[in-house]
Amino acid sequence: MKYFLGIDVGALSTNAVILDVRREIVGYSIVQTGANSTEAAEETLEKALVMANIDRAKITSTVATGYGRISVPFAEKKVTEISCHALGAYYLYPDTGTVIDIGGQDSKVIRVGDGGKVLDFTMNDKCAAGTGRFLEVMAAKLRVSLDELGDLSLQASQEVQISSVCTVFAESEVVSLVAQNHPTEEIIRGLHRSIVNRIWSMVKMLGIRGAVTMSGGVAKNRGVVSLLEERLEQPIHVHTEPQIVGALGAALLALRLAQTAT
C-alpha cells in the first residue's frame, strides 16, 4: 500500500497528514513548531506514522506548505498555504466556497471554486491584530489558557469595547480594564469582537461565496466562531482538528503528484 504525506510548518504549529490511496486520512499529528522547523517537521511526521501504523519507507510522496515549508528537506514539492487550505477545506466540506484561516501569525480569507480551486484571496500578515498571536498575548495578560478563552467569552452577558486596533496598545488597554475590575469574560468577548471585526473587513473585500469553513487554531475558539457566525449570518464548518486543514491539502497534492508521475 502507498501513502501520501502533507506537512504544514506554521508559525506556531507544525502539522502532518497521511492519506492512503483511497484518500482516507490514516494518520495526523499536531506539534509545536518551536525554534527548529526541521526538527518539528521530523517530529510531526514520526507521530503521524505511529498513528497510521506504517513505516516511513511507505510514504510515496510528500508536499510541504506553511511559512516554514522550506525547512522540510524531504518534501518533493513546496506549495503555498492558500491552495492547501482551499483543497483541505473542500475535501472535508465539499460545499465550501469560502475559507477563513486564522493561524498564529497571519489570517487569510480564500474564495474557493469547484474542486477546491483558489478563485481569489486576501491576507493579513503585517499585523498581529486579527491573528491568533493577538489572543495569545491577551490570554497571557489575563492569566487564562487558550483553551478557556472560548467558553469564558460565551459566558459573558455583556462585552467591553476594545478601542485599540494595535496589539501593543490593546494589551495596555486590557491592563487598565483589569484594573477597573471589568469581568475577565467581558474583556475576552471584547477581544474576540475585535478579531471578528478585522476578519469581517477582509471578508467584505472578497464577498462570501457558498458555505464558510474555518481552518487554523483560532477555529478551536468557540467564542470567536460564534461571533463570526453572527456577523456572517451563516453557520461555519469547523473540523474537530482545524489545524490540520493545510497539511491535509498538502497531502492531497502529494497524492496528485504521485498519480501524475506514474
Ligand X SMILES: Nc1ncnc2c1ncn2[C@@H]1O[C@H](COP(=O)(O)OP(=O)(O)OP(=O)(O)O)[C@@H](O)[C@H]1O
Would you say 103 or 150 has its CB closer to Mg ion?
A: 103
How far apart are CB 262 and ligand X at their closest, in Å?
32
Region of 40-48, 97-105, 157-165, 173-181 interacting with ligand X (CB under 6 A): 97-105
Residues 76 and 61 sit within 8 Å (Cβ to Cβ): yes
Residue 257 DSSP label: H
Among 20, 39, 136, 229, binds ligand X (CB under 6 A): 136
String of contacts with ligand X for each residue 60-89, x by CB under 6 A? ------xx----------------------
For ligand X (CB under 6 A), the number of binding residues is 23
Least distance (Å) from ligand X to the CB of residue 132? 2
Residue 121 and residue 89 in contact, taking contact as beta carbons nearer than 8 Å: no
Output DSSP code: residue 242: G
- C-alpha cell belonging to residue 12: 506556531
Evaluate whether 18 touches 27 at the Cβ level (below 8 Å): yes
Residue whose beta carbon is closest to Mg ion = 103
Beta bridge partners of 9: 14
CB-CB contact of 6 with 17 (8 Å): yes
Q: Which is nearer to ligand X, 13 or 194 (CB)?
A: 13
Q: What is the pairing mode between strands 25-32 and 13-20?
A: antiparallel
Distance CA 250, CA 149 (A): 30
Candidate residues 10, 27, 88, 190; the one interacting with Mg ion per rule CB under 5 A: 10
Q: Which residues bind ligand X (CB under 6 A)?
A: 10-13, 66-67, 103-106, 132-133, 135-136, 146-147, 149, 216-218, 220-221, 243
